[in-house]
Amino acid sequence: MPQTCKALPDLTVANCETLVWGRRTYVMGIINVTPDSFSGDGLGSDIPAIVEQALRFQAEGADFLDVGAESSRPGHESISLDEELRRLISPLEAIAAQVNIPISVDTYKPLVARQALDAGATILNDIWGLKPDPNLAEVAAEWGAPLILMHNQKTRQYNDLLPDIFASLNRSVELALGAGVAKENIILDPGFGFGKTPDHNLEVLHRLSEFKSLGYPLLMGTSRKSTIGLVLDLPVAERIHGTAATVALSVAGGADVVRAHDVKEMVQACRMTDAIVRGWRPSGWKQ
């Protein structure tokens, strides 16, 4: 079986389906427990609202949830370890007690990752690809947790866009493997919207299929991003159709997971595109 068709038997997703890369595209619902999300959907410390959103996303077909307590919007300010834990752990415990799909935690801090796994998370999502603190990989290895490694950088300067991103992602993979993370537990994210100009973002999406050469499942996070707003001249709240276009093209380009604020709509976009490009069919399909 090729790498992208391997099952992860310890992870079941929507409808208790075993996660199998290559079968269809999986949808990760974004839950921001922040007061300052770029998308305007930060829920802060309102735990009932957070749990309600998690249950709604699960009902709408999300395969994973991705919970983040530190904003990554342009111009954001980093928060302390203690503040991230204060924002994150209680909501995470509340979500984990109510849903039956895997929960990812968006953090690059090893101590936050460890406590998040204790609180019910099963996946770690590092938007800096282990560059700030490679010890996060040791936590993932210890727990046997899947690890998402995203490309990111502080500038938007490149010698050659895709080769530079590939080199950075390969370095992140080396750090993860060196810490004992199993190869089958690594997922790569090209970092749409991070350390890139709008033209860079569009080129990454246009050439997404080239990232399959790296040999790992791919996650794409285009949801409501500013590049969509610039192309369509629309505010965040009106970018759902533009997002759906980028999601469909992500699937066609080989994405295995997409992150979404608008789960119901992006599940539909993924299923329709999967039916065309991956041969996926719903249960009970009749000719």
pLDDT digits (tens, 9 = 90+) for 214-237: 999 999 999 999 999 999 999 999
Stretch (H or E) spanning 116: helix 110-119
CB 137 within 8 A of CB 158: no
Q: Which residue has the tokens 């068709």?
A: 5
C-alpha distances out from residue 172 to 70, 91, 190, 197, 205, Å: 21, 29, 12, 22, 21
Tell me which residues are annotated as active site.
225, 259
- Positions of E strands within the chain: 7-12, 18-20, 26-32, 64-68, 103-106, 123-126, 147-150, 186-189, 219-220, 257-260
The tokens for 268 are 């539909």
Task: Give the chain's domains with CATH numbers.
Answer: 3-277 (3.20.20.20)
Residue 167 has a CB neighbour count (10 Å cut-off) of: 12
**% of the chain surpassing 90 pLDDT:** 85
pTM over 0.85: yes
Which token pair is 283? 């249960």
- Over residues 246-282, the pLDDT tens digits come to 999 999 999 999 999 999 999 999 999 999 999 999 9
CA angle 255, 71, 241 (to 5 degrees): 45
Residues 6+ apart with CB under 8 A from 191: 127, 150, 151, 152, 165, 204
Cβ neighbours of residue 249 under 8 Å, at least 6 residues apart? 205, 208
Burial zone of 285 (CB within 10 Å; 0-12 exposed, 13-18 middle, 19+ buried):
exposed
The pLDDT assigned to 1 comes to: 27
Minimal CA–CA distance to 53: which of 268, 270, 261, 287?
Answer: 261
pLDDT single digits (tens) 87-145? 999 999 999 999 999 999 999 999 999 999 999 999 999 999 999 999 999 999 999 99
